[in-house]
Structure 1
Amino acid sequence: MLATTLKSIKNNRFLLKLFRTAFVVLGKLPRKKNLVIFESFHAKQYSDNPRALYEYMKEHFPEYHLLWSVDKSATPLFDEFKVPYIRRFTPQWFLTFPRAGYWVNNVRLPLWMPKPSKTVYVQTWHGTPLKKLGLDIEEVHMPGTDTDAYKRNFVAESEKWDYLISPNTYSTSIFKRAFAYKGNVIESGYPRNDVLANPSETLSSTIKKNLGIPGDKKVMLYAPTWRDNEFYKKGQYKFDFKFDLEAWKEKYGSEWVLLSRMHYLVAENFDFSAHEGIVYNVSNYPDIRDLYLISDLLVTDYSSVFFDYAILDRPIIFFMYDLETYRDQLRGFYFDIEKEAPGPIVQNEQQLFDALDRIAASPAEMNAAAIAFKEKFNSLEDGRAADRAVRAFLRK
C-alpha cells in the first residue's frame, strides 16, 4: 500500500508533508547505531562506491549490520548476489531506514526524506567531474525542473550530508562549491577503483567467460553519457548511435567485440540481435568496474568513466561528435578537455575508425598528456581507498 501511495507523493503536497512527518517521527525511535544502509543509483543497482564500501566493511568490520535499500525492480539482482536488503518504501523500510546509524549513497535522495540528526549520511557521489555540476551549471536543460529549482534542491540535499567522499584534490574543490557543501570531505580516492589499482587476470578471464566473450577477441567498451536536452520525459533520456554498427562489424568484427554500456538514465532498448556475438548490450550489467577490467579500449565522451579507466593505462578515444554544443550550451567543462584528454578526440565515424586503426596498428604508449592526467586525477588510486574512507566516517 505504501509503495503504491508513494507514486503520487511528488504531485500531492499533503501526502508529501504526511510522509515527511512520519519519517521524522520514526527517526526519533531508538537508534540502531551499528546499522549501515546502502543505496546505489536510486536503489536500483548493486554497484559503484557503495558496493565497494559494503564489501570492505563486510570483510573487515563484522560487528556492523550491513543492509541495502532496494527498489522493487532490483530485488532479483540482490537475490542473485545474496546481498541482504529491505525493499524501498515498504512498512519494514519505513521502520528501519530512519533509525540506521549510517546511510551510504551515491546520488541524491528524495527531497521529502529528512535526515535524522543522529544518523551519519555518507555521500560517495559517482564520478570525477568534467562537465559542470550543481550550482555551477549556468542554465539547466533537464525536464521537470528549472535552473533555480534545480540548484535550490541540490543545496537542500547537500545540507543533509555528514561526509562527502572525493577521489582527488581537484574534485574536492569543485564539490564544495558546486554542492554548496560545508561538511567533512574524505579525500580518499574512490573505493570502487581499488579493484582497478591491482587488476586480476584471473578475475578478468572469469568475467569474460561469464559474458560469453571468446578468449581470443579484443574488447572495445563504448560508454557514453546522456544529453540533458534529449529526453522522452523526466528521468528518461534519448540516445542515438553516431557510428554505424554494421560498418564497425565489417571492419573490426573478426578481431574485436563491442560492449555497449549506456548511462542508467538512457531509456532506449537497443536491439543488437543482428550483431549477435559481436555487439553485446551490457547496459544492465551490475557493475561497470568488471567491464573496465576486460576491455582493451574505451570509447566515451563526457562521461566520468574515463577518469577511472585511465588507472589501467589502456587506450581511450573520446567520441565527442557534439563537442561545441555540449561544452558551450548544455553543460560547460571544468577544464580544457581538448588540451588535457589522455587520448584522441574524434567527432565523426571516419575519425573514430581512423583512431581505432592507429591503436590497432601499434601498442599504445603513455604520452605526456596521459602521464600528467594520471598524476592530477589518479594519484590516490592505490587500492586502499575503501579502507581510508570507512575508517574516516567510522572514526576508527
Structure 2
Amino acid sequence: MAFLKHKIYGKLFSIFKVFPLKENKISFIIDSNQSFKGNLDYIKKEFERQGNFEFNFFYKDKISFNSFKNLATSKYVFLNDNFFPLAFMKFRDETEVVQLWHAPGASKKFGGSVCSPEELEILSMASENTDYLITSSKKVEKEYIEAFQIDKSKIEALGLPRLDYYFENHDLDKLKSEFCREYDIDSSKKIILYAPTFRDEEKYNNIFDFLDLERFNEVLGDEYVLALRLHPKIKNFYKDDISSRGKYVDVSEFESEQELMLISDILITDYSSIMIEYAVLNRPIIFFTYDLEYYLANERGFYYDFKQTVPGPIVHTSDELIDIIKNSEFDKSKISDFVMTQFDVIDGKASKRVVDFLLK
C-alpha cells in the first residue's frame, strides 16, 4: 500500500511537468510541523542574498495541485529528511534535487543501514532521483553512501548550513534573559539542556522513570535549572504524557533548538545526534544512557564504538549523573577530537558554499 501511495504522488507530479520550468523558482519539501527546517532556512537566506528568487514550500501532508505545479516548475528542490515519493518523481534534467539531511555527521545508524529490503529498494530509487547529497565531512562519506543507497559521485562535503547560526552576532545575555523571563527562571542559574532521543522500546521513553528529579534538584537546584526538550517524534513511541511532579522546564515546544543550545551550559543527552552539533560549542556533554546495554543490543546501533567515541562521560544512573555535574568532571579535549571526525570545516559559510556550488 505504501508503494501505491508513493506511485500516485509520482503520477500526479508528472502531470504538471507540462508547465515551463522557472529558473528562479526554488521549492523546499517539508513536514507541516516544520520540525527539520533548520538547513532549509539558511539555504533560503543565502539565495535571498545572492539574487531574486521565488520560494515555495511543498508540505508532504498538505498536497494540492498548486503545490505540485510549483514543485514541477522549480529549478532547485531541497529536502531535509526522507521523502519516499521521490522514488517515483522524475524531475526534468534541468532541475537540481538536493538532499541536505537535518542531522550532522554520522552517529546513530539510519536509512539504508537499518531498514528492510523493501525500504532499501525505494530508498535507492529516491537517491537515483536526487542530484546531490550534502554532508558535513568527507570522513562520513562511506556511512552516507550506505544510509542513502546513493552513488559517491553525488555526495558533496560542503558543510551543515544550519551551523552558520553560531557565527551570527547573538546577544547571549539578552537571549538568556528573555528565555528566563518566559519560563520564570532565576537568570543567575546555569541551564542544563536535557535532550533525549526516542526509543523503539516504549518503556524506556519516559525519562522520569530513570531520572530522580527530586534528588537532582536537591543537589543541583541552587546552581542549575533543568530544561527538557523531547524529540519531535517522541509521540510516535510513547502513548502517555511524559511528566513529573518535580521541578523542571519543558522546552519541547521552544521554537529554536539552536538558541537553547547557545544559552545552555551543559547538555545531557543519550543517543541523539544533537550532541554532534553541541560539541561545536566546546561545552560539557553527558551521556545519560540508563538503557545502554539494551539499546546497543536491540536498537539501531552506531557507525562507531559508542563507549569509546562519544565526547563526554557515559553515566547509567541518576547518582552518577548528579556526581559528574557536581564535580565538573569533563574532558574538553575529547570534544575537540570528536568534532574533527564529523566536520571538515566550521566557518559559518556552509550555506554560501552550497548555494555557490549550485549556481556555478
Same fold per superposition (TM over 0.5): yes
Can you give the 5+ residue segments of structure 2 that lack an aligned partner in the other structure?
none
Cα separation, partners in 2 of 1:19 and 1:124, compared to 1, 3 Å: closer
Say whether the 8 Å CA contact 2:16–2:69 is kept in structure 1: yes
Distance 2:301 2:99 in 1: 24
Say whether the 8 Å CA contact 2:286–2:314 is kept in structure 1: yes
Say whether the 8 Å CA contact 2:279–2:336 is kept in structure 1: no
Shift of 1:378: 3.4
One of 38, 61, 66 as aligned partner of 1:48: 38
Shift of 1:199: 6.6
Cα separation, partners in 2 of 1:246 and 1:178, compared to 1, 3 Å: same
> TM-score under structure 2 normalisation?
0.87
2:354 match: secondary structure: helix
- The residue that corresponds to 2:47 in the other structure is 57
One of 21, 41, 46 as aligned partner of 2:11: 21
Distance 1:266 1:12 in 2: 25
Distance 2:233 2:304 in 1: 25
1:27 match: secondary structure: helix
Pair 1:108-2:79 in alignment? no
Q: Aligned residue pairs: how many?
A: 350
Distance 1:43 1:272 in 2: 22
Distance 1:365 1:179 in 2: 34
Say whether the 8 Å CA contact 2:227–2:249 is kept in structure 1: yes
- The residue that corresponds to 2:187 in the other structure is 215
Equivalent positions of 1:93-242 (< 5 A) are 93-111=67-85, 114-117=89-92, 118-127=94-103, 128-137=105-114, 140=115, 147-182=116-151, 183-197=153-167, 200-202=170-172, 204-205=175-176, 208-209=179-180, 211-212=182-183, 213-230=185-202, 238-241=205-208, 242=210
2:233 match: secondary structure: coil
Shift of 1:164: 0.8
- What does the per-residue CA deviation read over 1:77-110, in whole Å, with 9 as the maximum and x for residues that have no partner? xxxxxxxxxxx31232122222211111111114
Pair 1:298-2:267 in alignment? yes
- Return 173-182 or 244-253, whichever deviates more: 244-253
Cα separation, partners in 2 of 1:272 and 1:230, compared to 1, 3 Å: closer
- Give the AA of the match of 2:45: E
Percent identical across equivalent pairs? 29
- Give the AA of the match of 1:149: E
Say whether the 8 Å CA contact 1:134–1:179 is kept in structure 2: yes
Distance 2:242 2:198 in 1: 19
Shift of 1:255: 2.3
- The residue that corresponds to 1:265 in the other structure is 233
Can you give the 5+ residue segments of structure 1 that lack an aligned partner in the other structure?
1-9, 73-87, 141-146, 232-236
Say whether the 8 Å CA contact 2:193–2:260 is kept in structure 1: yes
- The residue that corresponds to 1:85 in the other structure is none
Distance 1:178 1:193 in 2: 22
